[in-house]
A and B are shown apart, each in its own frame.
Chain A
Amino acid sequence: KAGVTQTPRYLIKTRGQQVTLSCSPISGHRSVSWYQQTPGQGLQFLFEYFSETQRNKGNFPGRFSGRQFSNSRSEMNVSTLELGDSALYLCASSPSRTGGPDTQYFGPGTRLTVL
């Protein structure tokens, strides 16, 4: 089975721009979660989607948003980029067969640099 894929792998943007990151989960996985990793804050949960619905959201401003499509693929969007948004953005998929918590498998991440 193919693993979680994320595109693009690297991205450079300037302040004020917006960006969209994409994540394709492992086939059959219904839950997709997003995390931000920075040297200062470590790994922080952004949000989780299950069956096209956001089930859980971390403590991030409204500039961070996401969605999930019917094929479980997910996108996250960051609007009005700030320098502090520079980070590695990791997507994780989970079988979540019963809808409950399950092991999360991570993709390679998208490294976003904001200039």
Chain B
Amino acid sequence: AQKVTQAQTEISVVEKEDVTLDCVYETRDTTYYLFWYKQPPSGELVFLIRRNSFDEQNEISGRYSWNFQKSTSSFNFTITASQVVDSAVYFCALSGVIQGAQKLVFGQGTRLTINP
């Protein structure tokens, strides 16, 4: 069975601080995808990044960076110099790559609040 754990339920920081959101996953698949989504108060899930299990290269996109470590089954997300607009609930998710396995397993989410 697949499982995603986001141990941090809520995080609150002051604007301009760096913040890291943790994600740990479990899967028996040797090939899989990992995702991060952002859910602002409007409710829509906004896609941020997808990582293939065979690609452990870290990624940076502006103030966002992702650290994928297969050895520890973790896919952590860091926001540098946080801004109030980053306030949202962030979800880590996992899916298989088997044909027909179009199903995302989500973590419980981390509610991030950036205070001015």
Q: Which residues of A approach B to under 8 Å, CB–CB? A: 31, 33, 35, 42-45, 48, 50, 55-56, 58, 88, 90, 92, 94, 96, 99-109, 111
Determine whether the beta carbon of B47 is less than 8 Å from that of A103.
Answer: yes
Determine whether the beta carbon of B108 is less than 8 Å from that of A42.
Answer: yes
Q: Which of A33, A35, A42, A99 contacts B99 (CB 8 A)?
A: A99
Interface-located stretch among B62-70, B74-82, B90-98:
B90-98
Q: Which of A33, A90, A106, A109 contacts B102 (CB 8 A)?
A: A33
B11 interface hit (Cβ, 8 Å) = no
Q: List 15 A-B contacts (CB under 8 A).
A: A35-B104, A42-B109, A43-B91, A45-B103, A48-B103, A50-B100, A56-B102, A58-B103, A100-B98, A100-B100, A101-B33, A101-B98, A101-B101, A106-B46, A109-B44
B91: shortest Cβ distance to chain A, in Å?
Answer: 7
B45 interface hit (Cβ, 8 Å) = yes
B69: shortest Cβ distance to chain A, in Å?
Answer: 22
A14: shortest Cβ distance to chain B, in Å?
Answer: 23
Instruction: Tell me the interface secondary structure of chain B in the complex.
Output: loop
Determine whether the beta carbon of A108 is less than 8 Å from that of B96.
Answer: no
What number of A-B contacts does a CB cutoff of 8 Å give? 69
Q: Which of B43, B104, B109 contacts A109 (CB 8 A)?
A: B43
Give bound CA distance, A35 to B42, whole Å.
Answer: 16
Which A residue sits closest to B97, measured CB to CB? A101
Determine whether the beta carbon of A111 is less than 8 Å from that of B43.
Answer: yes
Residues of chain B within 8 A (CB-CB) of A88 are: 43
Given A45-B105, A92-B45, A101-B97; 9 other pairs, CB 8 A cutoff: A33-B102, A43-B91, A43-B109, A55-B102, A92-B104, A104-B47, A104-B102, A106-B37, A108-B44
Give bound CA distance, A43 to B103, whole Å.
Answer: 11
Q: Which of A35, A56, A90, A111 contacts B101 (CB 8 A)?
A: A56
Residues of chain A within 8 A (CB-CB) of B44 are: 106-109
Residues of chain B within 8 A (CB-CB) of A35 are: 104
Determine whether the beta carbon of A104 is less than 8 Å from that of B104.
Answer: yes
Residues of chain A within 8 A (CB-CB) of B43 are: 88, 90, 108-109, 111
Which A residue sits closest to B45, measured CB to CB? A106
Residues of chain B within 8 A (CB-CB) of A108 are: 42-44
